Amino acid sequence: MPHYLEWSRAYSHRLNAADGAPLQARAAEMGARLERELAQGILPFLSMPYRATLEKDLPPILEKVRTRKHMLVLGIGGSALGARAIQRAFAPGQDRPGHDGPCLWIADNVCAEEFEALLAGLDAADTSVVCISKSGGTIETLAQYFLVRQWLQADLGEGWREHMVVVTDAVSGYLRQEATSHGLASLEVPDHLGGRYSVLSAVGLLPAGFLGVDWRALLDGAAEVARPLLEAPRSLGSHPSYALACWARALELQEYSELILFCYVPQWAALGPWFAQLWAESLGKDGLGILPVAATGVTDQHSVNQMFLSGPRNKGCIFLTSRGQAEGRVFGQDLPQEWAWLRGKPLGSLLEAEALGTRMALCMNEVPLVHMDMDGTGPNAAGAFMLLLEAATLFTGWLMGVNPLDQPAVELGKRLANARLGAPGYVTEHADLDNFMAVPLQEQAF
């Protein structure tokens, strides 16, 4: 069966269909742009021209890394969020009692204590390290690479090379130089494939394959959603990703400032932070954009849902459910009389009822809502979900008039950090640091 977007309560309250109509009318213009940019090869997350090479190069590397129990991924942002979401969705045993299968560890922050704990607890001989950076120059990831290389060398000597895989640009950058000079196993991040759009490339699929996840099914699910866009880009107006883009842009034009992804597929909860980066880094530009808010059902019914229901009326919601989730154990017939209405029902019926109740409550409290209902929770469905949201993000950016493929504001903090550490070539940033640090502190103890 297909996946569905359900629209009956999407244009509601102060958002109405008339707000979306002018955006829908731009479908021909956007379709022509899609056709042009596909031909230019700058949308590889849609066209996946790298798939044939990946299917040739990935299996031999998987064969090697799967001889070891542990994989340590060095990466941040888009180099980590997708892999973590895939692990928690499709290899959750690692987080459960009694696990004895492969283990994926992701070093995605600068925390000396956590990093030391990881290295202290891992056996270098039984660990494959994957260093991921498209540019090959991400300072946080390179810092980890230098330290992990020392750690591997201390235990394995020259054998460290057999335990390191780099995922980076095919021809340029420091990590590509390292791969070439040391003979490291490597996979490429294709041109024009930014980190937040890269989960369905080697970036996410190498960790997925290590865990035994069906990575080809992830690609297949994505390809099914992308196919109409590739085969008939000028028919963009009928694609659900463009409908989502029009709705999201209409929300912003009506001064909605937050977009909730409320996930009632518990094992997919980590896709919320993945979506948050995708949306925020692509669309938060030039004073524009809607803040993405990731929420998990039913957990967040008991926390932030109070704000969703009774706070400012500035929120839209993508409400995610899935058919075919596990029903689980059945409540016995010996429940107390006040709970007799649960007798004979499976635990999964509680999730279904909670999802319906929350969805209704959001709609009754003036939250425009698109219900996304997936046919299953496997890798194929997840690939479809991710591709749909990537495409919707792209088209929303086009409708906003911003470039959804760059992230210029993020680079400023990186440049200032490099200047703070003494990197050469940052004259302006050094001056900015001096001015910033010269402002007298106004401290208040507590």
Q: Supply the residues annotated as catalytic.
A: 281, 302, 414
**Of 199, 173, 175, 213, nearest in space to 62 by CA:** 213
Looking at the DSSP assignment, which residues form a beta bridge with residue 263?
296, 320
User: Alpha helix locations (H) across 183-239?
Assistant: 202-210, 215-231
**Four-point Cα dihedral 70, 71, 77, 78, nearest 10:** -130
Would you put residue 194 in left (φ > 0), alpha (ψ -120 to 50) or beta?
beta
Token code pair at residue 139: 């300072």
Distance CA 255, CA 19 (A): 12
| Phi and psi at residue 25, to the nearest 5° | -70, -15
* CA separation, residue 85 to residues 91, 164, 243, 324 (Å): 10, 23, 25, 20
**Of 141, 163, 160, 142, nearest in space to 80 by CA:** 141
**Four-point Cα dihedral 383, 384, 388, 389, nearest 10:** -40
Would you put residue 344 in left (φ > 0), alpha (ψ -120 to 50) or beta?
left
Distance CA 272, CA 270 (A): 5
Query: Please, what is the end-to-end C-alpha distance for the chain in angstroms?
Result: 58
Check residue 383 and report its DSSP letter.
H
* CA separation, residue 237 to residues 59, 223, 231 (Å): 38, 19, 14
* CA separation, residue 266 to residues 1, 88, 269, 279, 322 (Å): 21, 10, 5, 21, 10
Dihedral sign computed on CA atoms, order 21, 26, 276, 254: negative
**Of 41, 46, 47, 34, nearest in space to 233 by CA:** 34
Pairing of strands 185-188, 369-375: unpaired
Distance CA 160, CA 411 (A): 32
